[in-house]
Amino acid sequence: MLMTRPTVGQLLLDARAVLNDTVPITGSTRYSDTDLFQAFNAALFEARAKRPDAFLEMGLRIDVPSFGPGDELQLFPLDQIFYPLFLNYIVGKSELREDEFAAEGRAVAMLNKFVTGLLQVAS
């Protein structure tokens, strides 16, 4: 069994897959790396407020780390159980943007799922 911790870049790639982010005609992406990193950082802030125990290993008396383009190879900073929740948040936060492809209902559902997953056992 190969046990490797996922990277931040892998998380963003997974988010792009759920977002169906590639525009078929042009092949470009709708959400820039900066957009997705901002969503990831926002998820870290939300998690810090709701689940401070997730940051015990990292240290609670320091600032929440923030990531940006170029940090794709950094390891996912929290326990792996939070990985799918962060995926939900990044997708939800991105879908909130006003454009013709975004599904606002799905965005709200994903963001709620993030909060519920942090605070409750029920998924």
Partner 1 sequence: MAISTPDGPLIYDEQNYLGEDPGLTRVYDNIMGTVPGVLLPAVKMVVWNAIEEFYWRSTWRRELLNWCMPSNVICVDFNPFDGNWLVAWVLDVYGCGQYTVRPPSMIVDVGHPPASGAREGKALVALKPVSLDAEFDPQLFMNWFETILDGSLYRLYLQPVKPYSSPQLASAHAKQFRVGCQRARAIAQKQYTNGPGRWTFNYYADGRRKS
Contacts of 44 (CB under 8 A, 6+ apart): 64, 65, 66, 77, 78
User: How near is the Cβ of 67 to partner 1 at its closest, in Å?
Assistant: 21
Residue 22 φ then ψ, to 5°: -85, 125
When binding is defined by CB under 8 A, the residue of 17, 75, 103, 119 that contacts partner 1 is 119
Q: How far apart are the C-alpha atoms of 114 and 23, rounded to whole Å? A: 26
Q: Which stretch binds partner 1 (CB under 8 A): 27-35, 40-48, 93-101, 113-121?
A: 113-121
Using alpha carbons only, how large is the chain's radius of gyration in Å? 15
User: How near is the Cβ of 78 to partner 1 at its closest, in Å?
Assistant: 9
Q: Which stretch binds partner 1 (CB under 8 A): 11-19, 50-58, 65-73, 106-114?
A: 50-58
User: How near is the Cβ of 96 to partner 1 at its closest, in Å?
Assistant: 24
Mask for 65-104, x = binds partner 1 (CB under 8 A): --------------x-x-----------------------
Contacts of 16 (CB under 8 A, 6+ apart): 22, 29, 31, 36
